Amino acid sequence: QVQLVESGGGLVQAGDSLGLSCAASGLALRSFHMGWFRQAPGKEREFVSGISAGGDTIDYADSVKGRFTISRENARNTVYLRMNTLKPEDSGVYYCAATFLGSWPLQRTNIKYWGQGTQVTVSS
């Protein structure tokens, strides 16, 4: 059974930093492109960042470029998202996502596996 388990969310103030982790089980992470999406109340789930299976290609939403950093450790079956200079508009539930090779860039419609999400709240 495939599981993606996010951790690291929480309540922070604007300008603070936060790190998210996604631990995968039941699959070999090296065979999947990985990414992060987020969803704010009343809004659609949106792409935040993606990283290719080998880690050589990375993509970010314009709204987080220069502030967020995605990385992965295939040996640990873990993906990370480092979030700096957080803004209130970064608040939402952050979901880890996995998609098959050949499905790049990551889009909400081509995700094979989703995590359960972790809440990030940024106060002003």
Q: What is the pLDDT of residue 102?
A: 85
- CA distance between the termini of the chain: 40
- Per-position pLDDT tens, the chain of length 124: 999 999 999 999 999 999 999 999 999 999 999 999 999 999 999 999 999 999 999 999 999 999 999 999 999 999 999 999 999 999 999 999 999 998 899 999 999 999 999 999 999 9
Q: What is the pLDDT of residue 16?
A: 98
Q: What is the pLDDT of residue 69?
A: 98
Calculate the alpha carbon distances from 108 to 11, 17, 30 in Å. 26, 26, 20
Q: What is the pLDDT of residue 38?
A: 98
CA-based torsion, 80, 52, 86, 122: positive or negative: negative
Q: What is the pLDDT of residue 17?
A: 98
CA-based torsion, 12, 122, 110, 61: positive or negative: negative
Q: What is the pLDDT of residue 18?
A: 98
